[in-house]
């Protein structure tokens, strides 16, 4: 059974930092298309950062220069380093990844971790 489990969320003051982690189990993490999304109350789920082909990354304009996505395929982990946090970064953050199994590749979501930034 494939699971993506996020951790590292919490409450932080504006200007602070957090590091989110996503642990993938039950399969092998694909290093393309693994990323982080977020959903604020009453809003749609939006892309924050994602690995695309060739090891390149894509960031939402609102976080570019403040957030950094990284991954460790040997550990089946995805990370999101968040610096210079702002109140508008408050949301539930979700890990998303393609995971290889025996003869299949499927996309999965984690359960989310809450990030709250106070002003």
**Over the stretch 28-44, which tens digit does the pLDDT of each residue have?**
998 889 999 999 999 99
pLDDT of amino acid 41: 92
- Whether the pLDDT of residue 76 is over 80: the answer is yes
Q: What is the mean pLDDT of the chain?
A: 95
Q: Would the CA dihedral through 94, 80, 2, 51 be positive or negative?
A: positive
């Amino acid at each position: 059974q494939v699971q993506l489990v996020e951790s590292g969320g919490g409450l932080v003051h504006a200007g602070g930092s957090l590091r989110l982690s996503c642990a993938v189990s039950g399969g092998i993490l694909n290093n393309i298309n693994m990323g982080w999304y977020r959903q604020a109350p009453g809003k749609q789920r939006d892309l924050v950062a994602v690995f695309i082909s060739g090891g390149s990354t894509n960031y939402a304009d609102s976080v570019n220069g403040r957030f950094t996505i990284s991954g460790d395929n040997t550990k089946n982990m995805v990370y999101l380093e968040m610096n210079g946090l702002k109140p508008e970064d408050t949301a539930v953050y979700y890990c998303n990844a393609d995971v290889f199994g025996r003869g299949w590749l499927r996309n999965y979501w984690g359960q989310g971790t809450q990030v709250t930034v106070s002003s």
